[in-house]
């Protein structure tokens, strides 16, 4: 009786491939690769050739878009013993073959200084006629947690409920948060409740034993980041004393303001008084001498000169015309009593045509 051999369908395809072509990629079925932003990654693509593969060797790496309507983007290529790596501008200078000569059976590439935009599905295609093979590798570029901030929400008094919050402004999901107490008992309060997804640590009915330094750690598969807060639980404040202090402070402020206004007004009044006194002193200055006193002085000087002269030497004396003598003292006001006896200065007589008073 003839026996029949049945092979699984997968093994059947592999057998057909072996019978039809000798080219084979030995690094197939790679799991997804996760790397942190800024790091370097190596995408493997090793292969073997058969003697019947006589055509030129071509190795091409392409980035398959998530949107099926977009075209594939060639990243780097090896063809006709030359390397071409200028196809994808976003990776210029960051992608290269791992070995100088890919003909040795290693078509792996290195991507330097990874960016979050480098995340995607990459395909390695190896062709050497008549053989053609390819493999796909999924690359996930993750961002480490960074710029993590901690803060307290609520009143830090005994008997109150409050929440310690922690959030990272950078970092790829899924982020996980954890809290620990860094001082004192170094154990979280028994009433605390942690949410690892949001980073919130709730504290109920706080007491002074809760006081201390609390540290939050944000983490994902590629890194961690930390921040901390200082919790200081105090007894409730005396509301009545606070209000009384505020009132007293306000009254003191108003009193100080009134005192300053009073000082300014007083200083202004003193300056005004000094100006008025100075003006009155200038008004009390005696007026200049009048023409009447000048005329009297003139006549008196002539009288004294004549008194010392003798009749013999008066002939050469220069005669002063009578009409040139100041006559202001000899003119009586219109309202003067004509019967009033003349003063001694008003009596004049002439000596040899000279008027003597």
In a domain, 109, yes or no: yes
Q: Look at residue 239 in the predicted model and tell me its pLDDT.
A: 62
- CATH number of residue 39's parent domain: 2.60.40.10
Clarify whether residues 151 and 133 are in a common domain. Answer: no
Which residue among 104, 122, 142 closes a domain? 142
Do residues 325 and 355 touch, judged by C-beta distance below 8 A? yes
In a domain, 298, yes or no: no
Interior/surface letters 241-276, b for 16+ CB within 10 angstroms, e for the rest: eeeeeeeeeeeeeeeeeeeeeeeeeeeeeeeeeeee
Instruction: Give the strands of the sheet with 176-181, arranged side by side.
Output: 176-181, 212-220, 223-231
Q: Categorize the per-residue pLDDT at 139 as very low, low, confident or very high, splitting at 50, 70 and 90.
A: very high
Q: How far apart are CA 172 and CA 174, in angstroms?
A: 6
H/E element, 257: helix 239-283
Range of the domain at 224: 146-231
Burial (CB count <10 Å: 0-12, 13-18, 19+), residue 130? middle
Q: How far apart are CA 218 and CA 77, in angstroms?
A: 40
Clarify whether residues 134 and 167 are in a common domain. Answer: no
In a domain, 352, yes or no: no
Decide if pLDDT at 269 tops 90.
no
Which residue among 105, 120, 142 closes a domain? 142
pLDDT in tens, 140-191: 999 999 999 999 999 999 999 999 999 999 999 889 999 999 887 788 999 8
In a domain, 73, yes or no: yes
Q: How far apart are CA 24 and CA 40, in angstroms?
A: 27
Which residue among 180, 212, 231 closes a domain? 231
In a domain, 155, yes or no: yes
Clarify whether residues 136 and 28 are in a common domain. Answer: yes
In a domain, 273, yes or no: no
């Amino acid at each position: 009786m003839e026996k029949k051999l049945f092979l699984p369908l997968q093994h059947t395809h592999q057998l057909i491939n072996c019978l039809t072509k000798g080219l084979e990629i030995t690094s197939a079925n790679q799991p997804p690769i996760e790397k942190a932003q800024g790091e370097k990654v190596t995408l493997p693509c090793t292969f073997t050739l058969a003697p019947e593969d006589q055509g030129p060797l071509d190795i091409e790496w392409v980035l398959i878009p998530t949107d099926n309507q977009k075209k594939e983007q060639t990243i780097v290529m090896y063809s006709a013993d030359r390397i071409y790596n200028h196809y994808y501008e976003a990776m210029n200078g960051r992608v290269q073959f791992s070995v100088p000569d890919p003909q040795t059976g290693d078509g792996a590439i290195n991507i330097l200084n990874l960016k979050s935009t480098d995340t995607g599905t990459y395909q390695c295609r190896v062709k050497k006629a008549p053989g053609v093979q390819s493999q796909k590798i999924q690359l996930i570029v993750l961002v480490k947690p960074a710029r993590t901030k901690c803060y307290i929400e609520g009143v830090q008094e005994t008997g109150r409920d409050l929440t310690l919050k922690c959030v990272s402004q950078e970092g790829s999901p899924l982020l996980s948060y954890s809290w620990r107490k860094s001082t004192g008992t170094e154990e979280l309060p028994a009433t605390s409740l942690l949410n690892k997804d949001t980073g919130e640590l709730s504290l109920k009915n706080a007491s002074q034993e809760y006081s201390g330094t609390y540290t939050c750690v944000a983490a994902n598969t590629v890194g961690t980041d930390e921040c901390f807060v200082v919790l200081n639980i105090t007894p409730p404040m005396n509301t009545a004393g606070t209000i009384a202090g505020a009132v007293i402070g306000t009254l003191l402020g108003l009193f100080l303001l009134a005192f300053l206004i009073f000082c300014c007004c007083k200083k202004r009044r003193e300056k005004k008084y000094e100006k008025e006194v100075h003006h009155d002193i200038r008004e009390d200055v005696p007026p200049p001498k009048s023409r009447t006193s000048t005329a009297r002085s003139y006549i008196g000087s002539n009288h004294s000169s004549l008194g010392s002269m003798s009749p013999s030497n008066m002939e050469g004396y220069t005669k002063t015309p009578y009409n040139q003598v100041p006559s202001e003292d000899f003119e009586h006001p219109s309202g003067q009593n004509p019967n009033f006896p003349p003063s001694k200065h008003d009596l004049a007589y002439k000596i040899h045509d000279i008027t003597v008073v």
